[in-house]
Amino acid sequence: MKLLEGKVAIVTGGSRDIGRSCAVKLGEAGCRVVVNYNSNRTAAGETVSAVEAAGSKAIAIKGDMTQKADVESLVAETIKAYNDKIHILVNNVGGLVARKNLAEMDEKFFNHVMALNVNSTFLATQATVPHMPVGGSIINLASQAGRDGGGGGASAYSASKGAVITFTRSMAKELGPKGIRCNALCPGMIDTTFHDIFTPDAVRRSVEASVPLRRQGHPDDCADLVVYLASDKSSYVTGASIDINGGMSFS
**pLDDT (0 to 100) of residue 146:** 98
Whole-angstrom distance, CA of residue 6 vs CA of residue 24: 15
| Ranges of the chain with pLDDT below 70 | none
- Residues 6+ positions from 206 with CB-CB distance below 8 Å: none
Predicted confidence (pLDDT) per residue in 66-80, tens digit: 999 999 999 999 999
CATH of span 8-242: 3.40.50.720
Sign of the Cα torsion 153, 194, 123, 109 reads positive
* CA distances in angstroms from 185 to 39, 150, 215, 226, listed in the order given: 25, 15, 18, 8
Whole-angstrom distance, CA of residue 234 vs CA of residue 59: 27
- 137-141 β-sheet, strand order: 58-62, 32-37, 8-11, 88-91, 137-141, 181-187, 241-244
Instruction: Tell me whether residue 228 is one of the annotated catalytic residues.
Output: no
Predicted confidence (pLDDT) per residue in 36-76, tens digit: 999 999 999 999 999 999 999 999 999 999 999 999 999 99
**pLDDT (0 to 100) of residue 195:** 78
Q: Which of 82, 157, 228, 236 is catalytic?
A: 157
pTM for the model: 0.96
**pLDDT (0 to 100) of residue 193:** 82
**pLDDT (0 to 100) of residue 72:** 98
Contact 25, 224 (CB under 8 A): yes
Q: Tell me which H or E stretch contains 89.
A: strand 88-91
**pLDDT (0 to 100) of residue 208:** 86
Domain boundaries, the chain: 8-242
The dihedral over CA atoms of 215, 220, 224, 225, expressed in degrees to the nearest 10, equals 60
